Amino acid sequence: GNSVTQMEGPVTLSEEAFLTINCTYTATGYPSLFWYVQYPGEGLQLLLKATKADDKGSNKGFEATYRKETTSFHLEKGSVQVSDSAVYFCALSDTGTSYGKLTFGQGTILTVHP
């Protein structure tokens, strides 16, 4: 079956540091890939997505590239801010199913200090 593996957290960085959160996946077919962000006390919000190999998703300074050869979708940001502190989830949607089920990684807690 499908699975998503994220790097272990939590991750603690100083403001303006470079961020990488690793994500690898196992899937049959050609999944769509997503990063969701969950701020404290809130639901998940879509941060970025990529629907086919070599696509780059980007939003709010975050980027991730769909790498089929390494089955990866690592999240990066060049300079983090305190406001980026949140939980980040990598997820995939199996395009072979009709109901758009999302398979999530376990989440990575990011804390950014001033």
Partner 1 sequence: NAGVTQTPKFRILKIGQSMTLQCTQDMNHNYMYWYRQDPGMGLKLIYYSVGAGITDKGEVPNGYNVSRSTTEDFPLRLELAAPSQTSVYFCASRAGHEQYFGPGTRLTVT
d(CA 104, CA 101): 10
Shortest reach from residue 19's CB to partner 1, in Å: 20
Interacting stretch for partner 1, rule CB under 8 A, among 18-26, 61-69, 70-78, 92-100? 92-100
* Distance in angstroms (rounded) separating the CA atoms of residues 101 and 32: 11
Q: Which of 22, 58, 85, 104 binds partner 1 (CB under 8 A)?
A: 104
* From 12-20, 29-37, 60-68, 74-82, span contacting partner 1 (CB under 8 A): 29-37
Q: Does 99 bind partner 1 (CB under 8 A)?
A: yes
Segment near partner 1 (CB under 8 A); pick from 20-28, 65-73, 75-83, 87-95: 87-95
Determine the distance from the C-alpha atom of residue 31 to the mean position of all C-alpha atoms in its chain, rounded to a whole number.
Answer: 14
Question: How far is residue 11's CA from residue 87's CA, in Å, rounded to a whole number?
Answer: 10
**Strand pairing report for 108-113 and 86-93:** antiparallel
Q: Residue 38, class by beta-carbon neighbours within 10 Å (0-12 exposed, 13-18 middle, 19+ buried)? A: middle
Residue ranges binding partner 1 (CB under 8 A)? 4, 32, 34, 36, 41-46, 49, 51, 89, 91, 93, 98-107
